[in-house]
């Protein structure tokens, strides 16, 4: 099968490419050439910006991919350009979505009030307000101001002549993670802190995560299985942990001698305020992709964490992102609180 990937050189793209090649498919990657990626030698590179998709339609007609996988459709216009370009060329489009489409995410951001039951299914209610990052002073991964996966999904799934598939991703971790999700905790472990302090609502919070290699495998399955046409799938680790359990698990694998200490909000500084509503869990059910596409993790949770830890120890971010763990306090404040609760 001929498969074209748009934007396959960053974090999640290379594992998708590797799995497709291993499955015996012919893969081309359309990218800007700005990211150095270790892709298999028989992958066909096509250089260009996604703003040039329409102008390159004749090139894509010659290539005649059966499936197009768009890793970087962030806006409604991205999706419209995608579908207009490949109508009459491809047989199916796979777009990478996010679990931020759900109303539960609006609750987490404080834009919606009523807590939503979890786990979320692919049919759970979506956010009532669009453009979740528009009012943020710093947007995750420099997402465009009109980022909106809800609108991307609507466009991709609306064309009966070019069937779509959506793979909604969880919080993805692993080698080359641009958000360095484990770094704030590993930094404390590396500094030999005796404890990592978590406010009680954070400690019990549950969110869905996925290891990048497993995520890449799931996307490859969705791209190559005809049953995925006109379907939406979740993919996420099957094992669900609270944040306290997750940090403890990371600490054990990293051979940290400290412990996670859970404290009530009353023990925290009066000016301290959570940036999110942690009464809302962000947990998805991934049964559908497991049953319909026979997906299962190819890397276990402990092995995935070990690989991520090994990579992160050797790749400390120059400017750590606060999105990974914005609730962690500075060491002096932590020490003052720990003295009181010890």
Over the stretch 150-204, which tens digit does the pLDDT of each residue have? 999 999 999 999 999 999 999 999 999 999 999 999 999 999 999 999 999 999 9
Give me the pLDDT at residue 43, please.
Answer: 92
> C-alpha angle with apex 230: 225 to 236, nearest 5 degrees?
65
Q: What is the pTM of this model?
A: 0.95
Q: Is the dihedral of CA 28, 39, 234, 185 positive or negative?
A: negative
Residue 342 has pLDDT above 70, yes or no: no
206: β partners? 242
Q: Helices 243-253 and 301-313 meet at what angle, rounded to 10?
A: 70
Residue 20 has pLDDT above 80, yes or no: yes
Are 289 and 222 within 8 A, CB to CB?
yes
Average pLDDT of span 8-25: 94
Give residue 335's Cα distance to chain centre.
Answer: 33
Could you tell me the domains of the chain? Answer: 2-341 (3.40.50.720)
Give me the pLDDT at residue 23, please.
Answer: 96
Average pLDDT over the chain reads 93
Give me the pLDDT at residue 321, please.
Answer: 58
Asked if the peptide bond before residue 120 counts as cis, ω within 30 degrees of 0, the response is no
Residue 124 has pLDDT above 90, yes or no: yes
2 by DSSP, 3-state: which?
strand
Give me the pLDDT at residue 341, please.
Answer: 75
Are 13 and 37 within 8 A, CB to CB?
yes
Q: Left if phi > 0, otherwise alpha if psi is -120 to 50, otherwise beta: which for 20?
A: alpha
């Amino acid at each position: 099968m001929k498969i074209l990937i748009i934007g396959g050189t960053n974090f999640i793209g290379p594992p998708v490419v590797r799995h497709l090649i291993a499955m015996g498919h012919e893969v081309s990657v359309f990218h800007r050439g700005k990211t150095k990626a270790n892709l298999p030698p028989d992958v066909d590179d096509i250089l260009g910006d996604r703003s040039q998709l329409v102008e390159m339609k004749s090139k894509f007609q010659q290539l005649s991919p059966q499936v197009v996988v768009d890793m970087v459709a962030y806006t409604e216009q991205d999706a419209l350009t995608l579908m207009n370009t490949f109508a009459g060329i491809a047989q199916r489009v796979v777009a990478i979505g996010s679990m931020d489409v759900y109303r539960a995410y609006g609750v987490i951001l404080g834009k919606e009030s009523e807590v939503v039951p979890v786990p979320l299914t692919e049919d759970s209610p979506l956010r009532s307000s669009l453009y979740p990052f528009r009012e943020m002073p710093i947007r995750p991964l420099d997402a465009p101001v009109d980022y909106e996966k809800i609108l991307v999904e609507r466009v991709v799934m609306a064309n009966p002549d070019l069937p779509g598939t959506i793979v909604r991703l969880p919080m993805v971790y692993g080698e080359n993670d641009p958000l360095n999700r484990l770094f704030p905790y590993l930094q404390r472990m590396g500094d030999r802190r005796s404890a990592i302090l978590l406010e009680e609502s954070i400690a019990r919070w549950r969110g869905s995560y996925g290891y990048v290699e497993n995520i890449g495998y799931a996307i490859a399955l969705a791209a190559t299985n005809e049953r995925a046409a006109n379907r939406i799938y979740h993919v996420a680790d099957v094992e669900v942990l609270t944040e306290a359990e997750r940090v403890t698990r990371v600490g054990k694998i990293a051979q940290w001698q400290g412990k996670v200490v859970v404290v009530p909000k009353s023990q925290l500084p009066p000016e301290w305020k959570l940036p999110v509503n942690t009464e809302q869990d962000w947990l998805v059910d991934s049964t559908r992709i497991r049953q319909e596409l026979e997906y299962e993790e190819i890397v276990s949770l402990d092995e995935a964490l070990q690989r991520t830890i090994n990579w992160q120890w050797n790749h400390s971010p120059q400017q750590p992102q606060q999105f990974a763990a914005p609730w962690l306090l500075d060491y002096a404040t932590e020490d003052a609180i720990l003295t009181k609760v010890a």
